[in-house]
């Protein structure tokens, strides 16, 4: 995957319909159900969710990235009916997350580990403009921080068949968050939740282990 | 323990030095809903909690509350394997009926428009609600029967909600074994609701987090019985700690073994126990004569309280017979509860003297342990 350098202001980067996304090379990621069933590490944090079997309905995600030297933005698209409100008590909303390692040895599959944390940006359809910044050191340890703390901003639109969600954040937010340096390689992984399939928590589909992402100089 | 870090083993979260418990005598409950009201006024008068009845009383036989909770799954099977169940919806948990007060009282239509409820969710005429099947009961004419079944969170020893939460938001307090749900850790994933076979956890759509009975822990900490127990005008309730061998509650549960958990087959070891109905109205025979048999079949009670309930019913009938013959019966004395305070052992404090408390205990865990 490649995050292209563009000449556009921060407001434009955040707009999922902006022209900058037409030129950005989107990469298709095959999404698979998270391995819950029979996973001892999952069983330890919830022997109930370990028995989940019908999750991971979304099987493809399209991701594109751009930056303007100051701000970086990622645009994620996937085909899904719109589930953006919790009207009844048994309903869930759609969501998407992009994860980065905060340590060289951090694994996306385990959501990091003690001493090797991961950082994620998380968007939920019922709070469409407020992303969450998440840090985790293994399953069940994720801590959400308001996106505003890191100037993480989201904008989303559903075009009738697909969600298009843009995350935008300053490239440099210090050592405790993912830092983007133009010209250096980075790593990324994705997760997506289909609210209509009662997906939340570990019930989701994900892209597997981290893949390299190039940030254009 | 208590407030363990995220990722800590579930066993740690289920440990407690003491365990608070309850008995509810189903022979004395008259379905007045005083316990329901006491709880509602104290705990669920906030936005998003309108549909919640942490304490509830429904008619048995009936669908119960939440509707058909017994059929929704959850808990553990015979081998101890977790069995995730279904989630409750707004209608299941009794809705939040809206009324046309404005039309009836303020629009000059008082003679032509009648007060009627509508569903908060759909705006339509409700098709179900709290206590919808009140007093319908079961049995075939002329041997119809029913009794009232008060329910709340059972603060289970092997609480499946604690197992289910991936963020360890649920845990037992060390000092009393009360199962609490930390609002800061809750992500609103509702895995706990799927796991609870009694469906005693409720989702708050305003806070987008789940909530449950807290056994009135700020009262318990000051030696005051939970509001539902204290407010019962029928003296159906006993409260205390399972290690207090002098308590009336302990004697009925452990010494005399006449109080039983609801649906023990769910495998969660509940800590609220019931005195089963043992003297139901005598049944008519086919020729219209009155028999010596009660109208409630033992098999019906076995479905609720497990295989020991037949022995318990016979024991209670025998003890009652003793008292009718002017012979002593400790069990009957305990159940009668002549002294109001005897039922609450250590928890006889006066709620009027309750020190003010902060509900931050529910959110940051700082004074939960």
Over pLDDT 70: what percentage of chain B? 96
Looking at beta carbons, which residues of chain A come within 8 Å of B169? none
Return the minimum-mean-pLDDT range out of B100-114, B192-206, B217-231, B266-280: B100-114
Give the pLDDT score at B6.
Answer: 79
Q: Could you tell me if A130 lies within 8 Å of chain B, comparing CB atoms? A: no
Q: Which residues contact B64 (CB under 8 A, 6 or more apart)?
A: B58, B70, B149, B151
Cβ distance B7 to A139 less than 8 Å, yes or no, reads: yes
Cβ distance B189 to A48 less than 8 Å, yes or no, reads: no
**Binding-face residues of A in 68-97 toward B, CB within 8 A:** 86-90
Cβ distance B167 to A202 less than 8 Å, yes or no, reads: no
Nearest to B21 by CA among B316, B241, B222, B168: B241
Report whether pLDDT(B365) > 50.
Answer: no
Cβ distance A139 to B89 less than 8 Å, yes or no, reads: no
**Do B225 and B347 meet the contact criterion of CB atoms below 8 Å apart?**
yes
What number is the average pLDDT over the span B256-282? 96
How far, in Å, CA of A155 to CA of A103, rounded? 28
Cβ distance B84 to A139 less than 8 Å, yes or no, reads: no
CATH 2.40.128.720 fits A2-215, yes or no: no
Q: What is the 3-state secondary structure (H, E, C) of A46-88?
A: CCCHHHCCCCCCCCEEEEEEEECCCEEEEEEEEECCCCCCCCC
Helix axes B298-305, B309-324, angle to 10 degrees: 120
Report whether pLDDT(B13) > 90.
Answer: yes
Cβ distance A45 to B93 less than 8 Å, yes or no, reads: no
Q: Could you tell me the maximum CA-CA distance found in chain B, to the nearest angstrom?
A: 67
- pLDDT grade, residue B354 (50/70/90)? confident
Looking at beta carbons, which residues of chain B come within 8 Å of A46? 163-166, 191
> Quick one: fold of B10-94+129-363?
Alpha-Beta Plaits (3.30.70)
**Do A82 and A125 meet the contact criterion of CB atoms below 8 Å apart?**
yes
Cβ distance A46 to B191 less than 8 Å, yes or no, reads: yes
Give the pLDDT score at A35.
Answer: 92
Angle at B279 between CA B278 and CA B285, to 5 degrees: 120
How far, in Å, CA of B20 to CA of A128, rounded? 43
Cβ neighbour number for residue A98 with a 10 Å cutoff: 25
Give the pLDDT score at B4.
Answer: 73
As a residue count, chain A comes to: 217
Report whether pLDDT(B366) > 50.
Answer: no
Cβ distance B87 to A45 less than 8 Å, yes or no, reads: no
Residue A62 buriedness (CB in 10 A; 0-12 / 13-18 / 19+)? middle
Average pLDDT, chain B: 93
Q: Could you tell me if A51 lies within 8 Å of chain B, comparing CB atoms? A: yes
Query: What is the model's pTM?
Result: 0.94
- CA count, 13 A, side-chain hemisphere, B175: 10
Q: Which value does ipTM take for this structure?
A: 0.95
Give the pLDDT score at B357.
Answer: 59
Looking at beta carbons, which residues of chain A come within 8 Å of B164? 46-49
Q: How far is B249 from chain A (nearest CA, A)?
A: 33
What number is the average pLDDT over the span A158-172? 97
Give the pLDDT score at B85.
Answer: 97
- pLDDT grade, residue B8 (50/70/90)? confident
What number is the average pLDDT over the span A25-30? 95
Q: Cα B155 to chain center, whole Å?
A: 10
Q: Which residues contact B216 (CB under 8 A, 6 or more apart)?
A: B42, B224, B225, B226, B227, B228
Give the pLDDT score at B274.
Answer: 98
pLDDT digits (tens, 9 = 90+) for B122-171: 999 999 999 999 999 999 999 999 999 999 999 999 999 999 999 999 99
**Do A92 and A177 meet the contact criterion of CB atoms below 8 Å apart?**
no
Sign of CA dihedral B143, B144, B148, B149: positive
Q: Which residues contact A112 (CB under 8 A, 6 or more apart)?
A: A101, A102, A103, A106, A118, A136, A137, A138, A141
Report whether pLDDT(A24) > 90.
Answer: no
Q: Chain A: residue nearest B162 by CA?
A: A46
What tokens appear for A145 in the block? 């921080």
Residue B339 buriedness (CB in 10 A; 0-12 / 13-18 / 19+)? exposed
What number is the average pLDDT over the span B354-360? 61
Residue A60 buriedness (CB in 10 A; 0-12 / 13-18 / 19+)? middle
**Following DSSP, what letter does each residue of B278-294 receive, concatenated?**
-SPPEEEPTTS-EEEEE
Sign of CA dihedral B322, B258, B56, B129: negative
Indicate the domain borders of chain A: 2-215
Nearest to B369 by CA among B6, B15, B98: B15
Give the pLDDT score at B362.
Answer: 46
Looking at beta carbons, which residues of chain B come within 8 Å of A140? 6-7, 166-168
Give the pLDDT score at B280.
Answer: 81
Looking at beta carbons, which residues of chain A come within 8 Å of B6? 140-143
Helix or strand holding residue B248 (H, E): helix B248-250
Q: Chain B: residue nearest A91 by CA?
A: B89
- pLDDT grade, residue B367 (50/70/90)? very low
Cβ distance A89 to B93 less than 8 Å, yes or no, reads: yes
**Do B345 and B248 meet the contact criterion of CB atoms below 8 Å apart?**
yes
Return the minimum-mean-pLDDT range out of B94-98, B109-113, B260-264: B109-113
| Mutation target vs A (from B5, B182, B189, B202; most A CBs, 10 A cutoff) | B189
Structure-derived torsion over alpha carbons of residues B332, B22, B70, B187, reported in degrees to the nearest 10:
180
Give the pLDDT score at A39.
Answer: 95
């Amino acid at each position: 995957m490649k995050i292209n350098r563009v000449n556009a202001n921060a407001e434009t980067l955040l707009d999922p319909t902006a022209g900058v996304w037409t030129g950005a090379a989107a990469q298709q990621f095959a999404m698979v159900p998270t391995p819950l069933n029979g996973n001892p590490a999952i069983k330890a944090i919830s022997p109930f969710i370990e028995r989940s079997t019908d999750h991971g309905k979304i099987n493809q995600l399209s991701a594109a990235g751009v930056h303007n030297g100051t701000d970086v933005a990622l645009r994620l698209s996937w085909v899904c009916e719109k589930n953006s409100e919790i009207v009844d008590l048994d309903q869930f909303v759609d969501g998407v997350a992009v994860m980065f390692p905060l340590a060289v040895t951090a694994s996306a599959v385990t959501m990091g580990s003690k001493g090797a944390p991961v950082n994620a940006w998380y968007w939920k359809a019922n709070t469409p403009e407020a992303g969450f910044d998440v840090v985790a050191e293994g399953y069940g340890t994720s801590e959400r921080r308001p996106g505003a703390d890191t100037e993480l901003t989201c904008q989303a639109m559903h075009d009738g068949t697909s969600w298009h969600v843009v995350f935008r954040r300053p490239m440099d937010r210090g050592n405790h968050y993912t830092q983007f340096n133009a010209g250096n390689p980075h790593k990324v992984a994705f997760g997506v939740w289909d609210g209509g399939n009662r997906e939340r928590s570990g019930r989701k589909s994900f892209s597997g282990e981290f893949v390299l992402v190039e940030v254009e100089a | 323990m208590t407030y363990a870090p995220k990722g800590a083993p579930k066993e740690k979260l289920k440990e407690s030095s003491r365990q608070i418990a309850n008995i509810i005598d189903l022979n004395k409950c008259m379905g007045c809903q005083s316990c329901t009201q006491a709880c509602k006024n104290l705990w669920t008068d906030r936005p998003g909690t309108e549909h919640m009845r942490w304490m509830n009383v429904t008619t048995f036989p009936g669908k119960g509350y939440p509707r058909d909770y017994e059929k929704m799954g959850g808990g553990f099977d015979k081998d101890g394997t977790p069995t995730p169940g279904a989630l409750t919806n707004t209608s299941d948990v009794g809705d939040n009926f809206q009324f046309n007060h404005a039309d009836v009282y303020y629009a000059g239509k008082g003679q032509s428009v009648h007060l009627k409820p509508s569903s908060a969710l759909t705006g339509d005429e409700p098709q179900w609600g709290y206590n919808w099947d009140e007093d319908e009961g079961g049995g075939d004419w002329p041997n119809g029967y029913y009794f009232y079944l008060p329910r709340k969170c059972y603060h289970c020893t092997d609480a499946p909600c604690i197992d289910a939460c991936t963020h360890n938001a649920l845990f037992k307090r060390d000092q009393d074994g009360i199962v609490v749900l930390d609002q800061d850790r809750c992500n609103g994933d509702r895995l706990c609701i799927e796991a609870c076979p009694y469906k005693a956890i409720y989702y708050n759509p305003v806070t987008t987090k789940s909530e449950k009975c807290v056994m009135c822990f700020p009262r318990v900490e000051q030696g005051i019985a939970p509001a539902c127990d204290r407010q019962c005008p029928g003296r159906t309730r006993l409260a205390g700690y399972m290690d207090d061998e002098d308590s009336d509650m302990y004697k009925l549960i452990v010494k005399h073994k006449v109080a039983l958990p609801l649906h023990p087959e769910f495998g969660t070891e509940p800590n609220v126990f019931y005195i089963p109905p043992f003297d139901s109205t005598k049944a008519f025979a086919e020729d219209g004569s009155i028999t010596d048999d009660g109208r409630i079949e033992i098999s019906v009670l076995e479905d609720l309280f497990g295989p020991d309930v037949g022995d318990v019913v016979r024991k209670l009938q025998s003890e009652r017979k003793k008292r009718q013959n002017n012979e002593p019966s400790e069990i009957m004395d305990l159940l009668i509860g002549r002294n109001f305070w005897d039922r609450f052992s250590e928890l006889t404090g006066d709620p009027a003297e309750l020190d003010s408390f902060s509900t931050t205990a529910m959110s940051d865990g700082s004074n939960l342990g």
